[in-house]
Amino acid sequence: MKKEILIIVNPNAGKGKVNKYIPQICDNLEKKGYELEVIYTSDKENGEKIIENYIRYIDAVVVCGGDGTISQVINGIIKSHKKIDITFIPFGTTNDYARTVGMFNKKYSLSKNLPKYREVGIDIGSFNNDKYFYYVAAFGVCTNIAYSTSQSDKNKMGKFAYYKKALKQFKNMKAYQTTIVTDDEIIKDEFIYGGITNSVAIGGFKWFKRNDVKINDGLFELVLIKKPKNRLALIKTFFSILRKKYDQKNIYYMKTKNLQIDFEEEVSWTLDGEFGGTVNHVLIKNNKNRLELLVPKKEEKY
């Protein structure tokens, strides 16, 4: 029996150029013996809705898009309670997770080599028990950039559109009085940023060394940046992040499986680069090896 593959395409991905690659990708996969269905996302039907409509008819999903489209598809798969393989061809602006799992940037690599790919379990985070993220949940300065930057700016400038907007936000950054309960401790302080991550890169910037992140160890990397007392403290913090040295007094860095976060006001969150809601209470849990991702066989074990 032929394997049924659903290809979900974000037509805006790759600066809008994704469409020219789809015929060749489909031809490559059909030559490998797969039966295909190609569906494009839209304002009315995002990746999650497409999965809801098609998952009972397919064996695997190939996402042609960026981190946000992958997140939509993952939410659909988990909420369906069906076990199904997922993989992707990185067409996004930053492709943060592709850097983490060593996914090829060559657009035809997956479609030519999919039978050689192997399954790798990946951790999935739950957010207040009704939303899911696979590589980042974050609040604070610059976290809204991925979804608030216009598509036209992303098409013109690529990831530099994000950097331009980030510089503006640093001038007016806000601190939030926060109480955080991790597996091991309780933290109370004012933070301008908090990130719960499972990726070496976030927003096109490499936050961690590759050996620091294991995508299926059941743990998240938690980074919290305190409100700087002055400009010098902010500069020191910035250079610590550039050096990936989270050992100074303005930064908390630890690994944790679960955490509870409470704010004194409602705070906006981003989940995998998409708007995740505005809340003052958050419960986050790591669901170890919750999903199977197809990745190139030649990569090292994660």
Instruction: Determine the pLDDT at residue 288.
Output: 97
Section 29-34 average pLDDT = 94
Residue 124: inside a domain: no
Work out the percent of the chain whose per-residue pLDDT is above 90.
60
Q: How far is CA 176 from CA 76, 170, 172, 198, 227, in A?
A: 32, 15, 13, 23, 8
263, 146: one domain: yes
Instruction: Determine the pLDDT at residue 201.
Output: 85
188, 53: one domain: no
21, 150: one domain: no
Instruction: Determine the pLDDT at residue 299.
Output: 46
Taking the C-alpha atoms of residue 201 and residue 269, their distance in angstroms, rounded to an integer, is: 18
Residue 121: inside a domain: no
Work out the percent of the chain whose per-residue pLDDT is above 70.
86
CATH classification at residue 107 = 3.40.50.10330
Residue 122: inside a domain: no
Structural domain of residue 261, as residue ranges? 132-287
Would you say residue 87 has pLDDT above 80?
Answer: yes
198, 89: one domain: no
Instruction: Determine the pLDDT at residue 302.
Output: 42
Residue bearing the bigger pLDDT, 162 or 106 = 106
91, 139: one domain: no
Quickly count: other Cβ atoms within 10 Å of residue 2's Cβ.
11
Residue 125: inside a domain: no
Residue bearing the bigger pLDDT, 29 or 208 = 29
Instruction: Determine the pLDDT at residue 153.
Output: 58
154, 273: one domain: yes
Residue bearing the bigger pLDDT, 121 or 204 = 121
User: Is residue 55 left, alpha or beta, with left meaning phi > 0 and alpha meaning psi from -120 to 50?
Assistant: alpha
146, 221: one domain: yes
Instruction: Determine the pLDDT at residue 41.
Output: 96
42, 91: one domain: yes
Q: How many domains does the chain have?
A: 2
CATH classification at residue 187 = 2.60.200.40
Residue type at position 121 = G
Quickly count: other Cβ atoms within 10 Å of residue 52's Cβ.
15
**Most confident range, picked from 104-113, 115-124, 156-165:** 115-124
Asked which of 116, 140, 165 is the last residue of a domain, the reply is: 116
153, 256: one domain: yes
90, 143: one domain: no
Residue 246: pLDDT band with limits 50, 70, 90? confident
138, 89: one domain: no
Would you say residue 188 has pLDDT above 80?
Answer: yes
Quickly count: other Cβ atoms within 10 Å of residue 108's Cβ.
14
Helix H or strand E segment including 201:
strand 201-202
156, 266: one domain: yes
Residue 213: inside a domain: yes
Would you say residue 240 has pLDDT above 60?
Answer: yes
Residue 148: pLDDT band with limits 50, 70, 90? low
Instruction: Determine the pLDDT at residue 105.
Output: 74
Would you say residue 45 has pLDDT above 80?
Answer: yes
Would you say residue 120 has pLDDT above 50?
Answer: yes
- Of 117, 82, 112, nearest in space to 102 by CA: 117
